[in-house]
Amino acid sequence: MTALSISLPTGNGAVGPSDQRAVTPGSSEGREGLHERGDSEMPSSLASIYESRRGLLHPVVQDEAGAHLAENRFIWAASASSLDLRHGGSRMACHDVPERTGAMNDRELQHWVDKWSAQYPAGYDAVLEPLASREGFTPGDLEVIYWWKYRGLWPQRKIDQMRNFPDGKVASLSRRAFACPDELGALRILMLIPGAQAAGASAILMAHNPEVYTVMDVRAINSLTWPLKLWSKEDQGTKASSLEWPDYLDRCRAIASRTSRSLRTVDRALYASNGRA
């Protein structure tokens, strides 16, 4: 059977050679939505929620960068002067983030967050609520998160990779990450779990503590770049990476502080906007 070459747009709408994928007609990769079912179907409890958010999908397959930026070593850089994690209150202080020229003022920013967070599908995050504040996650918990995070981006592949990892390792690494006092160290620990990478690891942290952590992905970076003008793709990159994770958190927490909105509300706005004003 002849393979077809499909060109997928990049984050800025252009099509590049690196975005071409060979797809066999009739295969799961060639079906609408770019969703691979593999040998198992999406859990019925997630199917309706998945469908509700497909309208927001950007047809770019995220190459979650960051795993190659450092060896598999934990990065511990806890600093009392830069990190304020209060276990109980579950709030983390953010650094002062300077506004870029032409950025929105606080009132405009609040209006923008409210407008776009309202476009986020109601109830989509409900599957994550039972996971909050658990001491550690099981492979079943991560499967829920992978389906939630990687909708339309072949989640079954990542789930299969994770399922081949020893169950005890998943629980042990997640417990270590959740107890880690350093946000970069926590992310790097979770990136040791197959299929997670930087974006997936950020989603795992958010599911555990949505008041402290948020999700780093290409759509949110698009919004931080434009119209918010709080991110430089030239200096900080276009995709999720552990290298820029602390700075990304600072940006998102600063928006939450300036708008008096929760970190989850900010994340929903950044995702739904995907770089639109």
In the chain, the N- to C-terminal Cα span, in Å, equals 44
The whole-number pLDDT of residue 47 equals: 52
Q: Residue 3 domain-assigned?
A: no
Distances (CA, A) of 204 to 34, 77, 113, 115: 23, 20, 23, 26
Is 260 contained in some domain? yes
CB proximity list for 217: less than 8 A, separation 6 or greater: 62, 149, 199, 202, 240, 271
In the prediction, which pLDDT does 54 show? 47
**Does the residue 86 lie in any domain?**
no
Q: What are the backbone dihedrals phi and psi of residue 167, each rounded to the nearest 5 degrees, phi first?
A: -55, -40
Per-residue pLDDT tens over the stretch 83-126? 333 233 333 444 444 445 468 999 999 999 999 999 999 999 99
pLDDT tens for each residue of 6-27: 333 334 434 333 333 333 333 3
Task: Tell me the residue range of the domain where 187 lies.
Answer: 67-77+103-273
For position 167, what pLDDT does the model report? 86
Task: Look at the pTM and tell me if it is higher than 0.95.
Answer: no
What is the tally of structural domains in the chain?
A: 1
* Predicted local confidence at residue 42, as pLDDT: 52
Beta strand segments in the chain, E: 4-9, 15-23, 85-86, 91-92
- For CA atoms 18, 23, 28, 31, give the dihedral sign: positive
Which of 205, 275, 193 lies closest to 246, judged by CA? 205
Domain contains 7: no
Tell whether 10 is covered by a domain: no
Question: Residue 48 falls within a domain, yes or no?
Answer: no
Residue 118: inside a domain: yes
Where do we find the tokens 């926590």? 186
For residue 19, tell me if it sits in a domain: no
The two three-digit tokens of residue 227, written as one number: 């119209």
Helix/strand/coil percent split, the chain, to 5: 45, 5, 45
- In tens digits, the chain (277 residues) has pLDDT values of 444 443 333 344 343 333 333 333 333 332 222 232 233 455 555 555 445 444 444 333 333 333 333 333 333 333 333 333 323 333 344 444 444 546 899 999 999 999 999 999 999 999 999 999 999 999 999 999 999 999 877 899 999 999 999 989 999 999 999 999 999 999 999 999 999 999 999 999 999 999 999 999 999 999 999 999 999 999 999 999 999 999 999 999 999 999 999 999 999 999 999 999 9
pLDDT for the residue 152: 77
Q: Residue 120 carries which DSSP code?
A: S
Q: Please choose, from the candidates 266, 261, 269, the residue with its C-alpha nearest in 3D space to the C-alpha of residue 251.
A: 266
Q: Which single residue is written with the structure tokens 């920013």?
A: 109
